[in-house]
Chain A
Amino acid sequence: MMQKTSFRNGIQDGLPIGLGYAAVSFSLGIAMRTAGMTWYQGFLLSLVNLASAGQYAGLQVIAADAAYLEIVLVTLVANARYLLMSTALSQKFSQKTPYFHRFFVSYAVTDELFGIAVRQNGFLDPFYYYGAMSMAVPGWCIGTALGIIAGNILPVRIVSALSVALYGMFLAIILPPARNDRAVAAVVCAGFLLSWASGHIPFLSTMTAGTKTILLTILIAGTAAALRPHTEDDHDA
């Protein structure tokens, strides 16, 4: 069966992603523990979101006990890139592929799974995606739960070291394209600078981390889009 082969290929490509996710979500779990979440709450948050940046941003809202609207907005902004990825992925579906597969594949549109999916030749076989998901999703959720549980047991030195894993992952996502695209490099620099500066500006420093992330993202990405429109023929995903 073609589907079996596709599923097995998906597992193969998804395995390293699942392992990487487990490591990163472990550090996210440590942060969740600090925010007072239990292992099953963290597991659930990871299961329904499957998004590193989105969950991290959401966690800031939870930790601050801020308004419900704020977690909606901050999740929307932190995950807005998936709008573009899902749009691109919709082009990878053959007309012959049953429509309902789109509802399951879209659950797990992440940077890495999207990355391996668009690398497939021709149309996407949803079973390839399911194979990769079967590795990535448990890796992400179990890693989170373990981080919350083991954050208790591990020595302070280890916890401290693991706490930067998430930021390492963010750097690995934003920096490679920044080298090839000067507009992206400018966006990243502006993000660093304004984020740092806003901590020292009287009005801005009183905002919650979530609100700050939303406002600065809209400001920076909006300005960049106006000054340097990103055209199709650029290396686009």
Chain B
Amino acid sequence: MTHNIYVYILLSGLVSYMIRVLPLTLIRRPITNTWFRSFLYYVPYATLAVMTFPAILYAAESPWAGLAALIAGGVLGLKGRSLPEVAAVCCVTVFLLELILVHS
């Protein structure tokens, strides 16, 4: 570790707050630029998709359990189930599959 953990924490916290406080305090009117609005609209989906796959395969002990969690979470997500519900089903899927797949 050559970098100070608290500097990382401080910087990320500052950025997180700035992103939220600047629009709320400075922008009184909505952003009108269509491309920029659209860009901001698509950003969360792109970011979260990039971070989810293939990382979910390597999160658990067994990649197959991770794949099963992706499928189970994918089906429930498409059905519009709630956030804790989808997260819980992913966890249970991995737990049950690893009882068979992983021998510890």
Chain A residues near B (Cβ < 8 Å): 16, 19-20, 23-24, 27, 36-37, 41, 44-45, 47-51, 53-58, 61-62, 65-68, 71-72, 75-91, 99, 102-103, 105-107, 109, 111-112, 156-158, 160-179, 183-184, 187-192, 194-196, 199, 212-213, 216-217, 220-222, 224-226, 228-231, 236
What would 17 more interface pairs be, CB under 8 Å, given A80-B40, A157-B95, A224-B38? A65-B3, A66-B3, A71-B12, A79-B19, A86-B19, A86-B23, A102-B21, A109-B20, A165-B90, A168-B87, A170-B48, A171-B77, A188-B46, A188-B49, A191-B53, A222-B39, A229-B38
**Which of B20, B54, B70, B94 is A86 in contact with, Cβ under 8 Å?**
B20
Among residues of A, the one whose C-beta sits closest to the C-beta of B95 is A161
Q: Please give, as numbers and ranges, the residues of chain B lying within 8 Å of A230 by CB-CB distance.
A: 34, 37-38, 41-42
- Choose from B2, B25, B36, B49 the contact partner of A195 (Cβ within 8 Å): B49
Docked CA distance A161–B57 (Å)? 12
Which residues of B come within 8 Å of A, CB atoms?
1-3, 5-13, 15-17, 19-25, 27-28, 30-31, 34-56, 59-62, 65-66, 69-70, 73-74, 76-78, 80-95, 98-99, 102, 104
